[in-house]
Each structure stands twice: as structure tokens, then as C-alpha cells.
Amino acid sequence: MTVKKAKKGTWTVDISDGFHPVTQKRIRIIRKGIKTKKEALELEQYIRVVELKEKRFNFLVTTDMIFDILEEENLQNNRKISYISTQRNNYERHIKPYFMGTNLNKLSYEHIFEFREHLKTKPKKQNNSFRLSHNTVNKIMILLKKIFDTGVRKSLMDKNPVENLRKLPISRPTINFWSVEEFNEFRKLITSEEISYDLFFTIAFFTCMRMGEILALNWGDINLITNTIHITKTAYFVNGINHINSTKTRAGTRYITVNHKLAKKLADWKEKQEVLLKEFTTDTESLQVIQSTPIPMTKNMIDKKFKQLLARNNQLKKIRIHDLRHSHASLLINQGEDYLVVKERLGHASITTTIDIYSHLYPSKQKNLANKLDDIF
């Protein structure tokens, strides 16, 4: 008997699986000290399905079983902590509660379609009237497909019912940005005591760097002779812990040439920073560029300060910090730069991304085309 009760009242799982084809040793798995028979039966199924990989699709295969395998593979493949954390968050919030106790081998395309319809009605947050966006729903469905793919690859399942489900259509997001005049009005709200924040927002506006890229920036990345910044890494925060990793994509690793005024501002700040922090370190090259105290700047600190500054002027158009990146792209486009320059500056992996986001900011291209057609009409 595979599951049996021990003398002490606990339960034991004892599974034999024949003999190893090479060593000829008997394959036997024993688990003792299980509190209830129900837990023992569940453990038996888990061992047979996950550890012994028995190709019998009548076993209970749960999302927990397969997601744990998927997450372990992501860790072995050195996926970024931010990626793994986001996957775990989406799984815990959306997939696990819906499929709790469900045998994935019993699911069909119709069941998956019903789940997606359910996601479309879910609020973004509790007591929130805003629903999950189509983009978010698509990301959750991609994760669910990965879970099923893992189940099929590990011979725990015989099919993936997510395969034939098409993505929901996504409307182009509205791009908000500031003009140079609006950004200058914003800078007037910053006090002299907030100089390091002024530096952060100025770098963001005039280089198009992402927040994580600026937070990871140290003086070793900046050449004040050639006025260039070498972007090789990004900072991200998971559960309040700061992590430094490589850039988002290969194209994200890039050189950016900065304008002379910003280069002068950086040089002046470097001298001031050395004076401010000389009591705490002599290794100034490794200091975070925007750091003004022994404690490095974090995403939460930047977010909080940005909201405080915007609250000082109700007339100024409200944008997100990420929109400073859009502001820089808009500035380049207004100066007549083409897509390739914008792509390289922003560090997009594909020029398609650049075109999809910013094509509507190129009205003059359409006008020039129409004029050319007139010439041959």
C-alpha cells in the first residue's frame, strides 16, 4: 500500500518505481510524519507527477505544482529578480485564486476563455472602479500559457488550452510630455536644498534615461571630457531591497552624449558632492551620481518628491516621471531628428517600438508626403 498509517498516528507515503535502467538500483521514495491522510494522498500525487514524471494525465496537476517548476527554471536561468517578482505577483493575485484546486488536465479552451473574461471585469485595486487594462490581461494570459507550456514540456499535461487564444487588442496609450518651457516652470518649484532632485529630473529630461538607469548611475559611468554617459546597468527595487542589474535590453546598453550645460552642471555637482560626503567615503567614483547623503536615493524617494513638487503648482500639467522620457523624445522630434536617432537615444530594442509610440508626433512627414504626391498628380 502506497499510503499507510504509522503507529504514532501519522501517515507515510512509500512509492516504488521499479529499477534504475543504468545502476539497476531500486527506485523508492519514502516520506514520513505526514499529519493527515488527505495530505498524504496529495503528496503521493505530487511525487508521482512532479518527481517521478509519470505520464498519466488522470492525476491532479495544479497551478501551484507547475508554477513552482517554472519559477525554479527562471532562477536557474538567472532571470532578473524584478521579472521573477512580477511573475509571482501576477500569479498570486490573478491565476492562483481562480484555479485553486483545479486539475489543469481537465481544462479546455472554453475554460481559459471564461478566465480571460473574468480578468476583464477585475478592478485594478480593491474598491477601485478602474478595470484591468487589455495590456495587463494579455500579460497574465502570457504567464498562464508559460505555466501550461511547462506542464506539457515536463510531461505533466497532454495539451495547452491557451495556445489558440488570441491577444486582446490594445489601443495606443496617450503620450503626455512637457515642453522645455513647462519643464523650466517645474524646475522653479525646486528649492536649493533639493539640488540632487533637480539633477535627477534634469538628467531625465535632457537624456531620456529611465529612472532605474539614473538611480544606478555612478561617476565611473560619466566622462566629463567627452561629455558622454555610458549606460550599462539599472536599479530596481523588490520588497524594499535595491538591486543593480544589466540594462533592460542589449540596446539599452548605450552611450549618450549630453549637452554642455548639463555636463557643466554635473561637473559642479561632483565637486559639491565630494565636500558633502567626504566624511563618509573617499571612493567618490562609486557614489551614486544624484546622491546627497550617505543613504543612496531610491525610487520611492524620487516618486514622493515628484508628487510634492507638482503639488506646489496647480497650473502645471500633471505628468508621470516616465513622461520625462517621452518629453525628451518629443524634443528630438521637434528638432527634426529621425526615428533612428530617437531609437538609439532611448535605447529601444527595435525601431518598431519607437515608431509605434511616437509616429503621431511626426505630422510633418505626412505633409511632406502629400506634397510629393501633388507634384506627380
Q: Are residue 187 and residue 282 in the same domain, yes or no?
A: yes
* Domain count across the chain: 3
| Catalytic residue list contains 250 | no
**Grid cell at residue 261:** 550645460
Residue percentage of the chain with pLDDT more than 90: 48
Q: Are residue 135 and residue 207 in the same domain, yes or no?
A: no
Q: Are residue 237 and residue 297 in the same domain, yes or no?
A: yes
- List all residues 6 or more positions away from 25 whose beta carbon is below 8 Å from its beta carbon: 19
Contact 256, 231 (CB under 8 A): yes
Q: Which of 233, 248, 265, 345 is catalytic?
A: 248
Q: What 3-state DSSP class applies to 20?
A: coil
Q: Containing domain of residue 317, as a range?
A: 180-365
Whether residue 159 is contained in a domain is answered as no
DSSP state of 258: P
The domain boundary, picked from 51, 71, 91, lies at 51
**Grid cell at residue 131:** 478595470
Q: What is the mean pLDDT of residues 153-163?
A: 88
Q: Which of 307, 322, 360, 372 is catalytic?
A: 322
Whether residue 92 is contained in a domain is answered as yes
| Catalytic residue list contains 248 | yes
Q: 341 pLDDT band (50/70/90 cuts)?
A: confident
Q: What 3-state DSSP class applies to 132?
A: coil
Q: Are residue 252 and residue 350 in the same domain, yes or no?
A: yes
Determine the Cα–Cα distance for residues 72 and 51; give it in Å rounded to an integer.
Answer: 14
Contact 316, 186 (CB under 8 A): yes
**Grid cell at residue 67:** 508554477
Whether residue 356 is contained in a domain is answered as yes
Q: Are residue 98 and residue 25 in the same domain, yes or no?
A: no
- For residue 241, the cross-strand partners are 238
Q: Which of 325, 326, 343, 345 is catalytic?
A: 325
Contact 280, 294 (CB under 8 A): yes
Whether residue 374 is contained in a domain is answered as no
DSSP state of 162: T
Structure confidence at residue 114 (pLDDT): 94
Q: Are residue 245 and residue 348 in the same domain, yes or no?
A: yes
Q: Which of 21-30, 154-163, 184-193, 302-311 has the lowest mean pLDDT?
A: 21-30
C-alpha 263: how far from chain center: 31
Q: Are residue 304 and residue 211 in the same domain, yes or no?
A: yes
Structure confidence at residue 149 (pLDDT): 95
Whether residue 239 is contained in a domain is answered as yes
Q: Are residue 134 and residue 282 in the same domain, yes or no?
A: no
| Catalytic residue list contains 325 | yes
Structure confidence at residue 43 (pLDDT): 81
Q: Which of 46, 91, 339, 358 is catalytic?
A: 358
Structure confidence at residue 81 (pLDDT): 82
Q: What is the mean pLDDT of residues 137-147?
A: 96
Structure confidence at residue 161 (pLDDT): 93
Q: If you average pLDDT over every residue of the chain, what do you get?
A: 86
Q: Are residue 341 and residue 235 in the same domain, yes or no?
A: yes
Q: Which of 210, 265, 343, 345 is catalytic?
A: 210
Whether residue 89 is contained in a domain is answered as yes
Q: 209 pLDDT band (50/70/90 cuts)?
A: very high
Q: Are residue 17 and residue 138 in the same domain, yes or no?
A: no
Determine the Cα–Cα distance for residues 100 and 62; give it in Å rounded to an integer.
Answer: 8
Q: Is the pLDDT of residue 147 over 90?
A: yes
Whether residue 161 is contained in a domain is answered as no
Determine the Cα–Cα distance for residues 373 and 376; give it in Å rounded to an integer.
Answer: 5
Q: Are residue 201 and residue 271 in the same domain, yes or no?
A: yes
Q: Is the pLDDT of residue 22 over 80?
A: no
Q: Is the pLDDT of residue 366 over 60?
A: no
Structure confidence at residue 5 (pLDDT): 83
Which residue from 232, 252, 246, 298 is spatially nearest to 80, judged by alpha carbons? 246
Q: Are residue 28 and residue 102 in the same domain, yes or no?
A: no
